[in-house]
Amino acid sequence: MTRAPHFLALALAGLLASCSASDPGEYSAAERIARNFAVSQEVLTNFQGVDADLRADCKRAGGSGAICSTYRITLVNEGPAVGADERDWSLYFHSVRRTLSLLNRDDFALEHVKGDLHRLVPTGKFAGIGAGEALELDFLAEFWMQFESDFMPRLFTVDGAGGAHVIESTDSDGIEGLVLPINKNNPANWKRAANDANVLASAGSRYAEFSDDLSQAHDSWRERIIPQPLKTERSGEPVALATGIAVDAGSLASPSLHAFRQRLEQLQLAPTGPGAYPVRVHIDGSAFAAKTTGAYQLKVGERGAQVLGYDQAGAFYGLQSLLALVDVKSRTLARVDVEDAPRFPHRGMFLDVGRNFHSKEVVLKLLDQMAAYKLNRFHFHLSDDEGWRLEIPGLPELTAVGSQRCFDLSETRCLLPQLGSGPHSDNNGSGYFSVDDYIEIVRYAAARHIEVVPEFDMPAHARAAIVAMEARYRRLQAESPEKAGEYRLLDPQDDTRFLSVQFYDDSYINPCIDSTYHFVGKLIREVQAMHQAAGQPLGSWHFGGDEAKNILADNGFENAPGSDPDKGDVAAEARQQPWSNSPQCQKLVASGAVASIEELGAFYAKRVSGLVAEAGIATMAAWHDGVKHIDNAEKELASEDNYVNSWEQLPWGGTAHSAHLAEAGFDVVQSHSDFLYFDMPYEVDPKESGYYWASRHTDTRKVFSYAPLNTAQLAEVSTDRDGYGWSATAPGAAFAERVRGIQGQLWSEVVRTDALVEYMIFPRLLALAERAWHRADWELPLIEGQEFSAETNAVDKRAVDADWREFAAALGHKELLKLDLGGVGYRVPVPGAQVENGQLLTALPYPGLDLEYFDGERWQAVTDPVPAAAAQALRARSADGRRAGRAVELEGPRPSTAQR
């Protein structure tokens, strides 16, 4: 990697800036650094085989499995010098990888503060930082850094008085200009290990992937409804919608009618005159042989359409299918007859607002699009270590402290900065929904036939609640110790040494104390009251339950392909189960109320199920980790109905894991992380944003290929995280009866903005809806014991390809423009390209979008064939033409600059 030109330019800028900088005496060293320092971050080494000493260094530093990477933070002083005697400051930075040591300097001490927050403190050897000087800081970090989004913005300094100052050059939600490109030409820079078989995305690889003849779909996209109905028959030529659509709603409930009319306005299809196309709605359950909630019939005629719903939901879905037949660009409506019913009762989408807060506006926008594509469960993740996001009457500290991030080492006013939020409270990490906000969201969802499933994640992932309730304890302790301890969530005598997956040592509530359950009961009552105020009873309670483990003793990467189970020199006393040293938990085990410390997660689930049942809530849900020690849900849990989100990666046994949960008496909502976690990157390109612990890429087609009942068949059509084939065995046919549905997830560790929420979810959500509603012909029946792998050939891959082509054509020609009209900033695909006979050939994963090429001076539309020599870069535009997607540099010898 060449860095000299970059640093020479920065040094020159520093010399120029120093000539006009303010008098150093005016500001502290911390303030001058914040005002004047330029910062860059970069990966040095990921590939373990390059550096023989790296593995040993990692093992000595306590890295799990002796697997580490190295990265660099460079600070360039563009202002006056910082003197050697100015040591009363520290530098704070975020790292989503546990940073273990500073490799190349002894003039700073590295300290892990909390979670992803680390700091450097000048030592007695600090010699100052001269004007124009570049300070290179090389770090050893656990695991890998393979996407640029691993790096976080908003580094900050803290002065001797405790004042925090964001380094101005890093004060942005984005990382453009802050992170140097990961070198795609150097395997050490982007590979995970020697046997990493992934192939980086390029113009050529995309072309090879996208260049199937999409014209094979012909014009069938005009009649193609997403999600696909059970039966569709063309009944005539399309109808013009010159003056919009008028609805005679019949007995459709007014909130749903209002929601539908809002959708008409959004798509510019509201009636504008007496000639509007008429649609009549009826509801009559007796007209349907199969009694399925959400079933409907739709007949689109030349002079009007009729929707017949089995129930209210069916009538609403019939109207959504009517709009799916509209080509907004030509303002025409395809004429078809439809008979339809949903595949699964649970068709879900999950949004994490705990790690980073996301606005009510983006939540409502998501609900609009869920309704348009017939998804009906909104899983609302309202708490995590990094934030509490719902006002709870009577517990003001939850939002006054637990929803805010700022720099306060005592955490009496707020939580410490995390995930690039910076030290000031006005940031992406601070915020909450008021009671009125939540009631509005529940009502808005209900009008669109979506159930809100609130989740408050416990007993792990609960640090925001713990810190907040400790603040409450301190406030009330003098007034009334009994009242102060009523909702306390920890045993103050518990000195168990643990480290959570997110690097916290104080984030697990204690399941052995009654005040924990007083707190959970209070939550249930208050949230239930909000649902009642919204006119929608609380039907489901999700208690979370995931990742209550000690990563020093039990790391998810430990048995991963290409990793090493050797745990290094972690001390034996660090290998403790959470709560091992809690006197209250030891007492509970000694009493026989719970068999062992390892069973405390199940003990917590059982007690919460009692609170759920006592409140009259029918359904309790959890992530699969939370119930892994429950063998018989019907006997061990008090709640009437129980389901589990099964998220284990399929190459690591996810199919068998789901089957085991079903055998234990749980309904299963398939949520497998390598196919249905939308925080995974779209493709293997370091420029894409996302986590990648489960999969290096999950694009829209991969979501489309998911087989919810027979996930074992996916071993024929996908690779594992490292690019290799895997194998799986199908469960018996009875498993299908336990699958309640599927759900997409967006976790928010590296999703700081509402815009990125939309980018990550769309258009993948449409493929999710397809699989949740419709069973494809290429999905195989369950045959117990059937083996699948890259070597088997049971899946009809041609049928998958043909089905995708029709879906992709409908997506590109119709649905993306509807997303544009809905104000959704979906991901515009990165195009593929290939040179043939001197001409530039291009391809996209779905048709209908315009392309542009950069000729060295400006962007031009791709219309006629483009001479390859004229094009330096290529990009696609959104369906409405208003946004450009990420550009791809074209391969081969070309002029060196491409202005983006």
Catalytic residues: 547
Sequence-distant (6+) residues with CB within 8 A of 729 are 655, 656, 712, 785, 786, 787, 788
Is 626 in contact with 548 (CB distance < 8 Å)? Answer: yes
Residue with structure tokens 């919608």?
Answer: 241
Bridge partners (DSSP) of residue 138 are 72
Q: Are strands 332-340 and 326-327 parallel, antiparallel or unpaired?
A: antiparallel
Is 606 in contact with 636 (CB distance < 8 Å)? Answer: yes
Degrees to nearest 5, angle at CA 191 with 186 and 194? 105
Which phi and psi angles does 419 have, rounded to 5°?
Answer: 55, 40
Reading the block at residue 876, the tokens are 């696609």
Reading the block at residue 780, the tokens are 């195989």
Is 223 in contact with 336 (CB distance < 8 Å)? Answer: yes
Q: Which long-range contacts (CB under 8 A, 24 or more apart) does 393-401 make?
A: 393/435, 393/526, 394/522, 394/526, 395/468, 395/469, 395/472, 395/487, 395/522, 397/468, 397/469, 397/471, 397/472, 397/475, 398/464, 398/465, 398/468, 398/469, 399/432, 400/468, 400/471, 401/467, 401/468, 401/471
- What Å distances lie between residue 835 and 224, 231, 606, 866, CA to CA? 33, 42, 62, 10
Sequence-distant (6+) residues with CB within 8 A of 489 are 462, 465, 466, 469, 470, 509, 510, 515, 516, 519
Sequence-distant (6+) residues with CB within 8 A of 179 are 40, 41, 42, 148, 151
Distance of alpha carbon 630 from alpha carbon 600, whole angstroms: 11
Distance of alpha carbon 341 from alpha carbon 659, whole angstroms: 26
What does the DSSP assignment read for 196-245? -------HHHHHHHH-S-GGGGTTGGGT--SSPPSEEEEEEEEEE-TT-E
Q: Reduced to 3 states, what is the DSSP secondary structure of residue 287?
A: helix
Distance of alpha carbon 664 from alpha carbon 646, whole angstroms: 13
Indicate the DSSP class of residue 476: H
Closest C-alpha among 465, 487, 461 to residue 476:
487
Q: Are strands 332-340 and 134-142 parallel, antiparallel or unpaired?
A: unpaired
Reading the block at residue 172, the tokens are 């942005």
CB atoms within 10 A of CB 101: 17
Indicate the DSSP class of residue 727: -
Is 332 in contact with 240 (CB distance < 8 Å)? Answer: yes
Q: Are strands 888-889 and 873-876 parallel, antiparallel or unpaired?
A: antiparallel
Terminal alpha carbon distance of the chain = 22
Q: Report which residue type is found at 854.
A: F
Q: Are strands 667-670 and 641-646 parallel, antiparallel or unpaired?
A: parallel
Reading the block at residue 590, the tokens are 């000694």
Q: For 485-513, where are the alpha helices, taking DSSP H only?
A: none
Q: Report which residue type is found at 779.
A: E
Reading the block at residue 198, the tokens are 């992934």
For the CA atoms of the chain, what is the radius of gyration? 28
CB atoms within 10 A of CB 17: 18
Q: Are strands 108-114 and 99-102 parallel, antiparallel or unpaired?
A: unpaired
Distance of alpha carbon 366 from alpha carbon 360, whole angstroms: 10
Q: For 77-218, where are the alpha helices, taking DSSP H only?
A: 187-190, 203-210
Burial class of residue 596 in the structure, from the number of CB atoms within 10 Å of its CB (0-12 exposed, 13-18 middle, 19+ buried): exposed
